Structure 1
């Protein structure tokens, strides 16, 4: 009911499915559920709970806590996400999310939460930082990560704005029509990079890039944007590596970058995560050492239940098991993207592409870090890594796509009936 309480501030009762007519509509939607999305999502969540328990139990036991603590928390997060956010979002009318009032407030609240983190950083400094960044707001029962909310808010905002500009993104009018959303998106990214969270900033940027590209911008222009960005980022990284500035050498983020380049040489100065990730993957081989039997989770690999949980999975269920998890994730992404490809509404299509971008970028960044192909940015593996904020937001994203899919099927069925 959490989502309903929030939305009732902006909409009348008739706009929210809380009455008998609405219940009938929900039942109709359930009949049109997209199981190609729902089943992979449920499997990933269940396996994530198992892996969080397995990868965290030894550390908790050694430190005097109950070994199932994090596993139980992850299960609670999953239930709250599904019933408190997923089900209500699936039940709501799509028009609610296309309303200017909702879009503006959602975007403003997400930016306000990010700004609050900047204020914390200014006044509390390093005392408020975790792993070199100020990215969480302690609410007691959960550490809220505003970045997760911002991802969802950015997708909804861009889908709304670009839908209204459908057909207007032609040569000569592109800058005029995209300047406003580009500026607001840049403001959001600036708030995130100040934390500093480079991984989060990159995810937001990819959301903007993909949604701009699929909204009607000519392919040649979109490709030039992408090529220019790649060149600029590569040049900056090379410059930093060659320059090796003293004022950055002590920063946590710079140490992570250097550890990515020289993990074994800097094992004692930040390369331990990557080195032990290699050991875990090597120990697991093809079929793994068995669920619960990982050695690297016993104090060698720091916080193995968060962004390096895939390493523990590879050690316990093997490379084949890890590939199966990733296969399930990519199948989920494809199913969501497929809904977008066949959507009859520009808004619906853009939401699906935006959600796919979140899942794809997070997965690529996480797997790349685990394999040493990308710098460690702290990006978690969707639905598998421990975290309440991520679980709630990603579940909300999936629920909205299920809502869109059901509505598209209902619309198609009605058109066929009339024909």
Structure 2
């Protein structure tokens, strides 16, 4: 551990710390008014987010940084981690079909109440899938040649699809899309021919576009009452459907417009005072834009994307397939979550309930993302030690 600290990648560690600290402040600001209105202390969620951040850092970030990578690559660890996630997802499926109303939020069952935290199995599954695919695809390194691609990808593809099926039953379309993107990206950078990977991407994009057009044009009656379908229609017609689900997006627009370039000041948002539902989770970026302005918001998002780039940089220069895939997988989680959240806030993508990494309120997300960053820092430190060893021998 002490030796690894000498090789700590500060270009990843410092942006991570800044984002977490800013996230705690923004959660406090975005949640304080609504807590006061409901008779609670204004700092409840801010303190919780700070506790989540500290617990995640020492309980998961440090261990994932300190542990030897051969432990992460151990098939028993990979299988155990994956089985744990499958069991948790199965439990949610049971709750869903048992119609346990206390477990449902907006028609979806996505959390397990552990008392001190509502654990979201999907968040854990994201990291488990990255580690599993890194392990499997590393073992198949160099085997993706013509005639053998299908056979080498079939097993990980089936397991990934199985996880997606468990998540979509909740239903959680945003989570399913993130698992799909993790699988697609990691398959694409694992040695599969570029032409084939691009063919997959274009084919999938066309398929999704066709399904989207059919559903919107058909507007089937059996879907009209579902919360997820209402969100889709509200994305297409937010102002016309403001009273039927479009209020979130409309008030997001108002918040961004009110903030202008430099904002109305930290704590002075109007939209967080009952107009924008749960402003400290999915739409915390809207409140940030209103209070701190578009300029600061762009800088904040830029810092998040800088963190992604540094993680990808470690993956690009990695000496092993496993290390590279871990980095690309973690970067994909961050990128996809940021893309879906920012797209929803701006009305460019349907609202899927995906939070903004390190900024939005949530214990499960903070724990898993911190563990993921710790793992990337572990990979980075090992790469530096290996490089130094090679230079010494040379």
TM-score (norm 1): 0.93
Residue 356 (1) aligns with residue 313 (2): no
Measure, in 1, the Cα distance between the counterparts of 2:88 and 2:54: 24
Q: 2:270 aligns with which of 268, 289, 295?
A: 295
Aligned to 1:151: 126
Cα shift readout 1:266-293 (whole Å, capped 9, x = no counterpart):
0010000000000000000000000000
Aligned to 1:142: 117
> Any unmatched runs of 5+ in structure 1?
1-25
Residue 189 (1) aligns with residue 164 (2): yes
Measure, in 2, the Cα distance between the counterparts of 1:29 and 1:124: 49
Residue 89 (1) aligns with residue 89 (2): no
What is the CA distance between 1:125 and its match in structure 2?
4.8
Measure, in 1, the Cα distance between the counterparts of 2:147 and 2:82: 28
Cα shift readout 1:10-53 (whole Å, capped 9, x = no counterpart):
xxxxxxxxxxxxxxxx1111011000000000000000000000
Q: 2:192 aligns with which of 207, 217, 228?
A: 217
Moved over 2 A (4+): 124-128
Measure, in 1, the Cα distance between the counterparts of 2:114 and 2:3: 37
How many residues are treated as equivalent by the alignment? Answer: 394
Aligned to 2:219: 244
Q: What secondary structure is seen at the aligned counterpart in 2 of 1:124? A: coil
What is the CA distance between 1:301 and its match in structure 2?
0.2
1:45-194 equivalences in 2 (<5 Å): 45-194=20-169
Aligned to 2:380: 405
What is the CA distance between 1:88 and its match in structure 2?
1.1
What is the CA distance between 1:127 and its match in structure 2?
4.5
Cα shift readout 1:81-114 (whole Å, capped 9, x = no counterpart):
0001111111110001100000001011111111
What is the CA distance between 1:418 and its match in structure 2?
1.3
Measure, in 1, the Cα distance between the counterparts of 2:108 and 2:145: 40
Q: What secondary structure is seen at the aligned counterpart in 1 of 2:267? A: coil
Distance 1:157 1:378, change over 3 A: same
What is the CA distance between 1:124 and its match in structure 2?
2.2
Q: Which moved more, 1:131-140 or 1:45-54?
A: 131-140
Aligned to 2:10: 35
Measure, in 1, the Cα distance between the counterparts of 2:80 and 2:2: 29
RMSD: 0.6
Q: What secondary structure is seen at the aligned counterpart in 2 of 1:36? A: helix
Q: 2:364 aligns with which of 389, 396, 399?
A: 389
Measure, in 1, the Cα distance between the counterparts of 2:44 and 2:321: 43
